[in-house]
Amino acid sequence: MLHVEDLHAYYGHSHILQGVSLSVQAGEIVALLGRNGSGRSTTAKAIMGLVAWRGTLQWRGQSLAGLLPHEIAQRGLGYVPEGREVFAALTVAQNLLLGQKKQNKKAPAPAWCLEDMYQLFPQLRQRQHTRAGVLSGGEKTRLSLAMLVVSSANVLLLDETTNNLDPARRLEIL
């Protein structure tokens, strides 16, 4: 499904990633492990088109070169950045609605709905009318994960996703 070969990524003139290769097949779980500064986040950002890169990035046999981040997301790759970015001025419910893919008559029904997210993360139901900007770090983490899951992405790129979660919730997610 996802094929990365000889990936190099840059922040300005700084050459950060040098020759990363990996492949992810349907149903696989792949973890990038390493200490701070080893390039895990930059790898995810390059795959999503958020940093300059060169090499080979293919999704389902098609190159991702030249695509904008939203075009990559529309193809089925989803990303939760380390900062758990949510739309602070919008409510929890509004954030979840933004996460849903736009439906058309020919597309199958999404695998996950808002009610599923409230079942998975009961705290989000309790806070559904609360602006996301005032949520705790753990609540923002749950919301960003729920937004990704409800998007029905085929590949989930999770960057330090269990930060700010209590140990029981970390085990649930992992």
Tokens 């904008």 correspond to what residue? Answer: 68
| Residue 58 exposure: Cα atoms within 13 Å on the Cβ side | 12
> What's the 3-state SS for the chain?
CEEEEEEEEEECCEEEEEEEEEEECCCCCCCCCCCCCCCHHHHHHHHCCCCEEEEEEEECCEECCCCCHHHHHHCCEEEECCCCCCCCCCEHHHHHHHHCCCCCCCCCCCCCCHHHHHHHCHHHHHCCCCEHHHCCHHHHHHHHHHHHHHCCCCEEEECCCCCCCCHHHHHHHC
Q: What is the pLDDT of residue 54?
A: 95
Residue by residue, pLDDT tens for the chain (174 residues) are 899 999 999 999 999 999 999 999 988 888 888 888 889 999 999 999 999 999 999 999 999 999 999 999 889 898 888 877 889 999 999 999 887 766 555 555 567 788 888 998 899 999 999 999 999 888 888 898 888 888 888 888 888 766 666 666 665 655
Rounded Cα distance between 162 and 159, Å, is 9
Verdict on whether the full-model pTM lies above 0.75: yes
